Structures are given as structure tokens and as C-alpha cells.
Amino acid sequence: MGEKVVAGGFDLSDRQRYRGKLRECLTGLERLLAEQRFDRPKNLMGLEIELNLTGADGMPKMLNAQVLERIASRDFQTELAMFNLEVNIAPHRLTGRVFDRLAEELRTSLAYADRKAREVDAGIVMIGILPTLDRDDLVSTNLSDVDRYTLLNDQIVAARGEDFVLDIAGVEHLRCTSRSIAPEAACTSVQLHLQVTPGRFADVWNAAQAVAAAQIAVGANSPFLFGRELWCESRPPLFQQSTDTRPPELQAQGVRPRTWFGERWISSAYDLFEENLRYFPALLPICDDEDPHAVLDAGGTPKLAELVLHNGTVYRWNRPVYGIADDIPHLRVENRVLPAGPTVTDVLANAAFFYGVVRALAEESRPVWSRLPFEAAAANFDTACRHGIDARLIWPRRGRYGGTTEVDAVSLVRDELLPLAEAGLDAWGVDPADRDLYLGVIEERCRRRVNGAAWQSATFRRALESGLSREAALAATTKCYRRLMHHGEPVHTWPVGLPEAVPLG
């Protein structure tokens, strides 16, 4: 959420006042939009990556406070659990050799963090879900010692009123319960930010929703949880279930989950902020003293603190963000679809694909969302999470006859979306060398049908075939992954299986 939140209780008057402040913020946002007070186009993008800490044995290490103290950089901060960190890269203009510059920054930052982590016998792993996590790792006592996480946990638990149920049926079936939101910490992701003007926001968000399934298909990297092989990208069902404030009765009534794909295409950024207020009760009713309309009347820029805080507790896969830079408000689309990793090159290939294809789709004269039912986009997302690179997706049929058809995700990406991504990156002014290098990684994943999830599953099975127990096979897979991640070659080039043992003597 990024806000400084102090733990404490809330009473009925706090919630009533907060609801009123939220409405004031929403009408303040409406005024900002009507008065065209937002920043002009700057083609800015940003990047955040959530990370895991493990020991040399591949097991999680609850040491983020000690590691952060040694890193001593504002670029790194805590995440939900003690085995998590997050690295934030400053905004960059989406042009020229931006991806190569980002690659250099990320490699430098991660190598430095890993060196500091090694001082306490830990190391950085960039992966969607750490395969070696156990249920005992994901308990409330392992949440980071930060007030906002404690308070958020307490409020979600109170809203639900009973244990959380994790029930994910994939290659294997996991069913268990949790007394806290700690299982959410297993989900480590990449967040891609794109600053957009209000006039372009709806087209960009709709495009991002339409291609979310394709992003997952080529980028899945989270097949394991608690020793079970589940979906190729198990983060979305895990995130939804571990933050679900709805007991079964409210689920049966159709009440929306706080982790949400959405239910319709939009025509304005306002639609999303308004839905967040209409559908979701406040979890953290903390009020600011600001009067947003008085600030606007005086010609200033309101912080809209309540709206921003509430928005951060609704976990859309493409989230609207209101921000302020140099006292000028702006809007961003925050793409939260992708898992972390496997390598810096893979992360930036996923980013190049996203920024390119969203630009191209948002500018089409007959946009994809006018031809694809929203329900199909939501079903595609679920299908891609389950099946990854082998998913089959619903997509608008080419030609004059219209309608939709089922298509292999790899064929869709390779034949239709990659050419669009190339055109989109050209429109941003990205250097052809960057464009070809990073989109080439996506093309090779499609050609070989390999992403992080496919490599993890194949390597785990090889480890089992070699005679290792499940626990030992998961640990060995994680250690091999960590070594190859730091080596840096993209995942489609990784050899499947564990390295050969070196004979003694």
C-alpha cells in the first residue's frame, strides 16, 4: 500500500467518517478529471519486483529486516512476510534503449542485495512461488514487523470471521486452512506501471485486461505450493483465497472477492475507482485531515489519501493508480499479472511484450474489447493460469465474419500478438536492438514451449525419477533454479534436470 499506517482499533464512527471521506475523494477525482488537471503524456514506465530470501539449502529464510538493514537503500523495502523483499526501479521514459538500461540497473541492484543477504547466510530468489515453502512458514508470526501488515491481517481476518480455506485443484489437489493472510506472502510478482493520460486510460486498461491471459501463458512461473504441483501459475487462486473476506454464504450470494479480475470493459478510469467504493467495504478506515475540495478550490493538488489507501486494498490484476509527482496528479495502470523471474532478461522480455502489445491494441481502430466478451477475457485468464504455455484461449476471429474462436496460446502470441508488440514498441520509440532482443525471448519460449513453470515441473519430475523424495526434489529444484537465475541466461535455454554430481577423488 505504500502508506505509513499505525496499528490501532477502529470504531463505528471511524468507518462512517471514512466512507464520507472516500466519497469526497471520489468527487475530488471527478473534478480533477473534468478540469483536465492531470499530467500531460510523458511515456513513463516503472517496475517493482517482489523477491524471496532462501538459504543455501533452498529453504526460506525469515531475515528481511536484517538483510534490509545491510542493503540500506531506499530502492528496497519490506514485503508481507519475513522472507520477502521488494525492489523498486525509478520511472523511465519508454524509448530508446530503455530495456537494456533497466537490465543493467536490475542486475546491479539484485547482485548487491544478494551479496548483502549472503552476510546472513541467505540469498535472493526471483520466482513466483518458492517451491520449498511449507505451511508452517506462512503463519502470522512470520509476517514482517510492520504495523500496516499487522493491521491489514487483523482487519481481513475480522471481516471473514473464520479460517481461510485454500482449495486449488491442479495437477495435484491442495486443500488446507489458514488462520491469517500469511499465505498471500507466497505470491511474489512483478508490477509494471504505465503512466497514461485520462483520455487514454480506458483503452490501455481494456487492452491490458484482454492480453492478461497471454502474459500468463508465456510467463507462468508458479507451479508449486506446500509440496504440491498445482496450476502453472498458482498465484492468482492463492492470492484470491488467502485475502478472501467472504465466508461461503457471501460467496454464494455473488459478492465480489477483493482479488478480482473485474466484470466489464470500462470507459473511464473513474469507473474503476467508483466500483472500488461501491463494492468493497473499507479495511483500513484511516482518515486524513485534508479537505480535497478546499485544496482544489485553492488551485492545489489533493492527495486523496483515503481513496489511495482503499484502492490499495482492492487487488485488481490491472489496478488503477492515482499519484502525484512535482505537485501534478497523474494516472497509472499497474499491471500485476506476472510472477517474478526467472531472470532479469525474462522479466524485461515480459515487460517489453506487455508495453508493446498494450500500446498497439489500445490504438486499434476496431479494438479487441469491442470483439471479445469480457467474460471470455476472464475465462482466458483462468485457463492460462491453469495450463500456462499449453493453454487454449478464446480470441476474436480474423476476417470479416467476426465472432470468436479457440486458439492455441502459443500460436496467438507468435502469429498475432508479437507482431503487434513489435509495432507498439516502435510507436514508443524503443530501439530496434532492444525490441528484437526481448521480444525474441518471448518468441523462443513459444517455439520451445518453455517458461519458468514448465522448467520447474520438468526438473522436479527428473529429480523424483532420480530417487529423491518430494521434499528433497523440491529443494534441489529450488537450488538449481537459484543458480541459473543468477547466471542470467533466459529460462528457455536452461537445461532440464539437476546438474550431474561431481565424482569425488
Average pLDDT value for the chain: 95
Q: What is the three-class DSSP state of 143?
A: strand
pLDDT digits (tens, 9 = 90+) for 147-158: 889 999 999 999
In the chain, the percentage of residues whose pLDDT exceeds 90 is 93
pLDDT at 199 over 60: yes
Vertex 403 angle, CA 398 and 405, to 5°: 70
Band (pLDDT 50/70/90 cuts) for residue 401 is: confident
pLDDT digits (tens, 9 = 90+) for 213-246: 999 999 999 999 999 999 999 999 999 999 999 9
Angstrom distance (rounded) from CA 196 to CA 43: 7
| Separation in Å, CA 92 to CA 95, 204, 357 | 9, 18, 18
pLDDT at 399 over 90: no
Band (pLDDT 50/70/90 cuts) for residue 500 is: low
Count how many Cα atoms sit within 13 Å of the Cα of residue 446 in the half-sphere of its side chain.
Answer: 23
* pLDDT, position 12: 73
Q: What is the three-class DSSP state of 242?
A: helix
Residue 413 DSSP one-character state: I
* pLDDT, position 212: 98
| Separation in Å, CA 152 to CA 3, 206, 223, 284, 490 | 12, 29, 27, 7, 36
Q: What is the pTM of this model?
A: 0.95
Mean pLDDT of 89-112: 97
| Separation in Å, CA 165 to CA 141, 168, 183, 232, 464 | 19, 10, 11, 20, 29
Mean pLDDT of 52-70: 97
Residue 311 DSSP one-character state: H
| Residue 75 dihedral angles phi and psi, to the nearest 5° | -70, -20
* pLDDT, position 499: 86
pLDDT digits (tens, 9 = 90+) for 261-274: 999 999 999 999 99
* pLDDT, position 14: 83
Cβ-in-10-Å burial (0-12, 13-18, 19+) of 18 comes to: buried
* pLDDT, position 194: 98
* pLDDT, position 4: 46
Band (pLDDT 50/70/90 cuts) for residue 402 is: confident
As a three-state string, the secondary structure of 74-96 is CCEEECCECCEEEEEEEEEECCE
- The H or E element that residue 294 is part of is helix 292-297
pLDDT digits (tens, 9 = 90+) for 426-459: 999 999 999 999 999 999 999 999 999 999 999 9
| Least confident range of 9-18, 291-300, 303-312, 407-416 | 9-18
Mean pLDDT of 52-69: 97
Mean pLDDT of 326-332: 96
pLDDT at 503 over 60: no
Angstrom distance (rounded) from CA 338 to CA 350: 8
| Least confident range of 64-68, 126-130, 282-286 | 282-286
pLDDT at 6 over 50: no
As a three-state string, the secondary structure of 153-187 is HHHHHHHHCCCEEEEEECCCEEEEEECCCHHHHHC
pLDDT at 289 over 70: yes
pLDDT at 8 over 70: no
* pLDDT, position 7: 44
Mean pLDDT of 102-112: 97
pLDDT at 311 over 60: yes
Q: How far is CA 194 from the centre of its chain?
A: 14
pLDDT at 9 over 80: no
Q: Do residues 79 and 50 lie in contact, with contact meaning Cβ atoms separated by under 8 Å?
A: yes
pLDDT at 11 over 90: no
